[in-house]
Amino acid sequence: MDAKDILGLPKTPLPITQEKKPRPQKDSQRKPDGISREVYALTGGLAPLMPSIDASQLKRRPPSDEKITWQWLPFTSSARKDDLQLYHWVRVVNGVPPTGDYSFAKYNKSVDVIKYTDEEYEKYLTDPVWTKEETDQLFDLCERFDLRFIVIADRFPTFRTVEELKDRYYSVSRAILIARAPSPGEVAGHPLVKEPYNVSQETERKRALSMVLSQTKQQERKDAEVLAEAKRIAESRMAAQGAEEPDLPVTSDIGPESVERAIGHGDTISPSSVQVPSAAVAPSTSIMADNASTLASLRMLRVYLRTYALEQMVQAASSSAGLRTIKRVEQTLQDLEVNLKPKVPTKAVCAEHLELRKEILTLLNLQKQLQYKEAEGSSFRDGSYGDMPGTPKRSHRVVDQDRTFVPDAISFGGERAGKREQKRKGPGRVSETPSSPAHKRPRKMKALDL
């Protein structure tokens, strides 16, 4: 179909006579140099925009002055401890085979594992938890397996965790280094001496890492919520302290460990934005905190552009709103013929703009609230359950709202949540319009007849 489009031919099948004409045209279009027709066709029949290989190079290769043969010859490798001779194909130029070691021998690297004497062991290396025999075994394995501790742990005769083995190896090596050094200053720069292996930290780190990796999607969401909440609280605390002593927000150091503790609290904190219907008057304390913290951070900047300040304040004010809500706010602004970004951003204009946006958010929340109440009302009247939005049972309502609004706040993730929403909207619309009395529910400002 594409070829016909390119040639400008109609899509219906043509009589044979007409088909023959375009063919010579096609052949003359294809003019690959240096590569065969089939290879050229692999590229899709079109020349690349930039030649990756010079086409003339492709046929040129064998230089005429050299005589090349391939011979099956023996070779040795310096990487081997024995004298085993193996055979392979060798490219011989003018009867002269190539010289030098086996080309892969240079990759045979190994680690320098320290060897201690029995005397040194008695003097510096005794340990309550480790026998000499075990330590010897450990070092032998370390040398054989080039410090691949996971393999070493597998092969170690008694059960030891990777961290224990590492700890023993590194502390022994460190002790020997220090013992053998003529003066402590000389080895102070050695990485083993400077940063000794910390078992507890490593165990903790690995545990935290595996926890983060094994989090379910829901847990991830919860974590993000809790972190955002913690950040907000810390910033509002910072704002409350005033700009006198700006402390760096401690939240930046929240690692997975503290998140684990916070998760326990996460369920009880329950951001107030979840219970939207009762809190139609949107300004919860979190939004006030956002404003205050934004102002504080702006003040710390010392110099900024008015438009930047407005953007930050707008973001803070819509922090609890989902992407769809924000789009609806912008649509409303457009319907009201207000510039999304003020053309003359003076202090007064920016303040008015911000207030307008907040009022639109309130308006949208009220609209949603009204919808729910009407649906609730009509379900009471009809007395039906099941696929009506806002089913009479209170517990369901909270759960449904949770599903509707939280995905809003977090983006379009979670297909299940999304589908649920669509399902709910469907029957909702159908039943709402006939039964609700006040169905002049203007969705857009244009429908307003004020």
Partner 1 sequence: MGKPEDTERKKKLKDVEISVPIVYGNAAFWLGKKASEYQSHKWTVYVRGATNEDLSVVVKRVVFQLHSSFNNPTRVVESAPFELSESGWGEFEIAITLYFHNDVCEKPLNLYHHLKLYPEDESGPMSIKKPVVVEFYNEIVFTEPSESFLARVQNYPAVTFPRLPAGFTLPSSAPIEDESKRKRGDTKDHPLNQWFLNFSEADELLQLAAARQQVQAHIAKLRRQISVIDGQNQQFKSSSDQ
Footprint of partner 1 (CB under 8 A): 243, 280, 298-307, 309, 332-333, 336-339, 342-349, 352-353, 355-356, 359-360, 362-363, 366-367, 369-370, 373-374, 376-377, 380-381, 392, 438, 442, 445, 448, 450
- Give kind and range of the element (H or E) at residue 93: strand 86-93
Cα-to-chain-centroid distance, residue 100: 48
- Closest CB to partner 1 among residues 162, 298: 298
At closest approach, how far in Å is the CB of 247 from partner 1? 17
Sign of CA dihedral 142, 145, 146, 147: negative
What's the token pair of residue 316? 């803070």
Number of Cβ within 10 Å of residue 331's Cβ equals 15
- Closest CB to partner 1 among residues 192, 356: 356
Candidates 331, 298, 284; CA nearest to 446 is 331
- Closest CB to partner 1 among residues 150, 248: 248
At closest approach, how far in Å is the CB of 232 from partner 1? 22
Backbone φ/ψ region at 383: left (φ over 0), alpha (ψ -120 to 50), beta: left
- Give kind and range of the element (H or E) at residue 91: strand 86-93
At closest approach, how far in Å is the CB of 67 from partner 1? 51
Do the Cβ atoms of 302 and 241 come closer than 8 Å?
no
At closest approach, how far in Å is the CB of 370 from partner 1? 5
Sign of CA dihedral 132, 137, 142, 143: positive
Number of Cβ within 10 Å of residue 366's Cβ equals 13
In angstroms, rounded to a whole number, what is the distance separating the alpha carbons of residues 139 and 111? Answer: 12
The owner of tokens 């939240």 is: 251
- Closest CB to partner 1 among residues 96, 305: 305
At closest approach, how far in Å is the CB of 123 from partner 1? 60
- Closest CB to partner 1 among residues 67, 306: 306
- Closest CB to partner 1 among residues 32, 342: 342
- Closest CB to partner 1 among residues 155, 347: 347
- Closest CB to partner 1 among residues 11, 443: 443
At closest approach, how far in Å is the CB of 408 from partner 1? 20
Residue 413 DSSP code: -
Cα-to-chain-centroid distance, residue 137: 42
**Dihedrals φ, ψ of 127, to 5°?**
-145, 140
- Closest CB to partner 1 among residues 7, 366: 366
β-partners of residue 75 are 86
At closest approach, how far in Å is the CB of 348 from partner 1? 6
At closest approach, how far in Å is the CB of 372 from partner 1? 10
At closest approach, how far in Å is the CB of 327 from partner 1? 17
Do the Cβ atoms of 432 and 378 come closer than 8 Å?
yes
- Closest CB to partner 1 among residues 58, 356: 356
Please give the angle made by the CA atoms of 305, 308 and 311, to the nearest 5 degrees: 155
Do the Cβ atoms of 282 and 362 come closer than 8 Å?
yes
In angstroms, rounded to a whole number, what is the distance separating the alpha carbons of residues 283 and 195? Answer: 51
- Closest CB to partner 1 among residues 73, 280: 280
At closest approach, how far in Å is the CB of 382 from partner 1? 11
Angle, helices 394-410 vs 415-435, to 10°: value is 120
At closest approach, how far in Å is the CB of 353 from partner 1? 6
The owner of tokens 């973001």 is: 315
What's the token pair of residue 209? 């890492």
- Give kind and range of the element (H or E) at residue 70: strand 68-75
